[in-house]
Amino acid sequence: MKISPYLLFLFMLCTAISQAQLSEKQIDDLVKNTLTTFEVPGISVGIVKDGKVVYAKGHGLRSLQSKLPMNEKTLVGVASNSKGFTAFALAMLVEDGLVKWDDKVRDHLPEFRLQDAYATENMRIKDLLTHNSGLGLGAGDLMFFPEGNDFSAQEIVTNLKHITPTSSLRSEFAYNNNMYIVAGEVIERLSGLSWEEFIEQRIMQPVGMKNSKAAYNRVSDKSNSIAAHTRTEGKVIQIPHDWSETANPAGGIMSNIPDMLTWAQFLMNNAQTKNGIQLLPAKQLHQLWQLQTPLPVSPKNDYNTHFFGYALGWFVKDVAGYKEVTHTGGLLGTVTQFTLIPELDLGIVVLTNQMNGNAFKTITNTIKDSYLGYKNRDWLSRYDKQNQDWLAKNDSIKQAVYHQVDLAKENPQIITPKQIIGEYKDNWMGTFKIYQDKGKLRIASFRSSQLVGDLLPYNATTYVAKWDNRSFDADVFVIFSLDENAIAQQARMQYIAPITDFSFDFGDLKLKRIKD
């Protein structure tokens, strides 16, 4: 029988791809080398292919203090991988006829307002999920990040009107968690369930995610869950769990490898559970994976990618001719990645307990390459170099700043404590107090208990806020504006080094003196 050239090509391609796939030992070695290279205490990895789990293991330690091992069942905060669940929940409500994607947000949340009047009146339900609201990167995240603030979800919705936009509605991509908090309020208003109840009862339970919870505080048995870790002043240390419950729709879910692989299988089975229950029509599911906010693509890139952008709760792009649906997540002390290539029926999950994204990128890309037929491109060495360069750059910036702080102690032209002591209020974040305590100049937020630290002189109009919690790695310049009597009337903040997490959106604060 004569075989057509096209069929022969497909056969050869499939054979090449299958031969290129990594063995269990190769993946084990990859993860172990990644742990060491990026100083990550623990990583768990899962792969599902053609409806079957082909790899599910944990490596390293779930906690540096307890020394207990990480395994595939260890619970991890998946962070912004929760956004896909929020989008799925809204799609279910669309199918229930309770809302339309193009409904105005104010049709369902009349109290919703932004500073931009046009955006207020024209923002659609769909726009809550696409990161093009007009607000800047991470705008307003300080209302829930870090943990220890006292803002309710309703207050966050109300306070958004005080944040100055950086672009017009739907004109630019700027990642924003608070729109997902708004989406969670819509889900609660329409369904009569809290966001957490909806996610667990209508999605997780029927899908078969047996050990997952929609929030950290809903996990009753934390005996096999990670501790968070981060690099602080040159050393990886264990830090307390950090996540505000008000932001659960943006990143609150706790899960593990078996459950996230079950979620992957469910999605690639067109939203049909293993029991044959269709939770969402396939057409509606694939609506979630349609590009909404395009992002630039370099002409030369690693996967011959032609398009890239954000859909509804997911990043989407093409890789080597296939559509990829993916997301990452990051909390203080942990980062995660979830990747689907539906046409290959391939899902890859990487969960870690140290906030270095180079680890999950190394593992995901290496595994992905093996299914796409790429030869070893040594992602570990590539990302190792990038990581070392990045850390060295940021460390040098911080060293230079604190060297200047040391010099400023002897500078008589530095603005004095008497000129800046007082209370300063921002319209959405509330009041900060600058005061003296035991001979030190201090700054503290009234609404966020962990935002407290020393104020150190830097130059004629600027101090450095050195936060007590050193794991933040988010020290900032505090720049004062003086009146004709040389008394500070306003202050703004600017991060010292680019390594600062964007959710520390100090740059959005506009502090005005309200009290001496």
Q: What was the pLDDT predicted at 187?
A: 98
Q: What is the pLDDT of residue 13?
A: 43
Phi-psi group of 489: left, alpha or beta (phi > 0 → left; psi -120 to 50 → alpha; rest → beta): alpha
Distances (CA, A) of 13 to 8, 62, 318, 478: 9, 40, 18, 58
Q: Phi, psi (5° rounding) for residue 167?
A: -160, 175
pLDDT band at 20 (very low <50, low <70, confident <90, very high): low
Strands 293-294 and 308-310: antiparallel
Q: How far apart are CA 442 and CA 235, in angstroms?
A: 26
What single string gives the DSSP state of each residue in 155-182? HHHHHGGGSPPSS-TTTS----SHHHHH
Average pLDDT of the segment spanning 335-349: 98
Mean pLDDT value across residues 446-472: 97
Cβ–Cβ contacts within 10 Å for residue 335, how many? 26
pLDDT exceeds 60 at position 18:
no
Q: Give 9-18's long-range contacts (Cβ < 8 A, gap of 24+).
A: 13/373, 16/373, 17/371, 17/372, 17/373
Number of residues that make up the chain: 516
With left for phi above 0 and alpha for psi between -120 and 50, is residue 474 left, alpha or beta? alpha
pLDDT in tens, 493-514: 999 999 999 999 999 999 999 9
359-377 pLDDT, tens per residue?
Answer: 999 999 999 999 999 998 9
Q: Of the candidates 374, 357, 364, 370, which has an alpha carbon nearest to the alpha carbon of residue 304? A: 374
| Residue ranges of domains in the chain, CATH in brackets | 22-390 (3.40.710.10), 411-515 (2.40.128.50)
Q: Is the pLDDT of residue 11 over 50?
A: no
Least confident interval from 387-391, 407-411, 448-452:
407-411
Contact at 8 Å (CB) between 414 and 459?
Answer: yes
Rounded percentage of the chain residues whose pLDDT exceeds 70: 96
Question: Model pTM greater than 0.85?
Answer: yes
Backbone angles phi, psi at 38, to 5 degrees: -105, 10
Count CB-CB contacts under 10 A for residue 17.
15
Higher-confidence residue: 309 or 15? 309
User: Does residue 240 have a cis peptide bond before it, meaning omega lies within 30 degrees of 0?
Assistant: no
Task: Over range 392-404, report the average pLDDT.
Answer: 97
pLDDT at 412 over 90: no
Span 287-337, pLDDT tens digits: 999 999 999 999 999 999 999 999 999 999 999 999 999 999 999 999 999
Task: Compute the average pLDDT of residues 152-162.
Answer: 97
Contacts of 203 (CB under 8 A, 6+ apart): 85, 88, 89, 92, 209, 279
Q: Where are the alpha helices (DSSP H) in 303-440?
A: 357-372, 379-408, 417-420
pLDDT (tens digit per residue) in 244-291: 999 999 999 999 999 999 999 999 999 999 999 999 999 999 999 999
Give the span between the Cα atoms of 250 and 240, in whole angstroms.
20
Beta-carbon neighbour count of residue 3 at 10 Å?
A: 9
Peptide bond into 342 cis (omega under 30): no
Q: pLDDT band at residue 410, thresholds of 50, 70 and 90?
A: confident
pLDDT tens, position by position, 134-146:
999 999 999 999 9
State residue 411's pLDDT score.
86
Q: Residue 48 pLDDT more than 80?
A: yes
Tell me the C-alpha distance between 125 and 115, whole Å.
18
SS3 content of the chain, % helix, strand, coil (to 5): 35, 25, 40
Mean pLDDT, the chain, rounded, equals 95
Q: What pLDDT is stored for residue 365 in this prediction?
A: 98
Q: Provide the pLDDT for residue 413.
A: 84
